[in-house]
Amino acid sequence: MTTEQATPAKAAKNQRTLVGRVVSDKMQKTVTVLVERKVKHPRIGKIITRSSKYHAHSEANEFKEGDLVEISECSPISKTKAWKVTKLIEKSKAV
C-alpha cells in the first residue's frame, strides 16, 4: 500500500512545471502559454527578459486569454504539444 502512494509522488517530482500567461485559446483543447524568465546578461550584467511559448493541453477549454496558469510536462500529445495545464493561478481581469 505504501509503494502505491509513493509512486505518484515520485512521478510528479520528475515533471517540470512552469507558470505563464495564456496568450491564445483559439484552438480546440489547446492553449498557448507565454512563459517569461529573467536572466542576467553574461557580459553587460543587465537583467533581461527571455520568453518562450508552449502549447498546452486543456481538456475542457476552461482557460481564456490573460489567465495565469501552471503547466507541467507530459508525454507528447501531438507534434507541438507536450505540456498540460495543471491549475489556474489567477483569472484574467475583465476589460
Strand ranges (DSSP E) for the chain? 17-24, 30-40, 47-57, 68-73, 81-90
Residue carrying C-alpha cell 507565454: 34
User: What is the distance between the alpha carbons of residues 57 and 85, in angstroms, rounded to a whole number?
Assistant: 6
Identify residue 57 by its one-letter amino acid code: H
Distance separating the N- and C-terminal Cα atoms of the chain: 50
What was the pLDDT predicted at 15?
83
pLDDT level of residue 11 (50, 70, 90 thresholds): low
Which of 9-13, 33-37, 49-53, 76-80 is predicted least confidently?
9-13
Domain 16-90 carries which CATH code?
A: 2.40.50.140
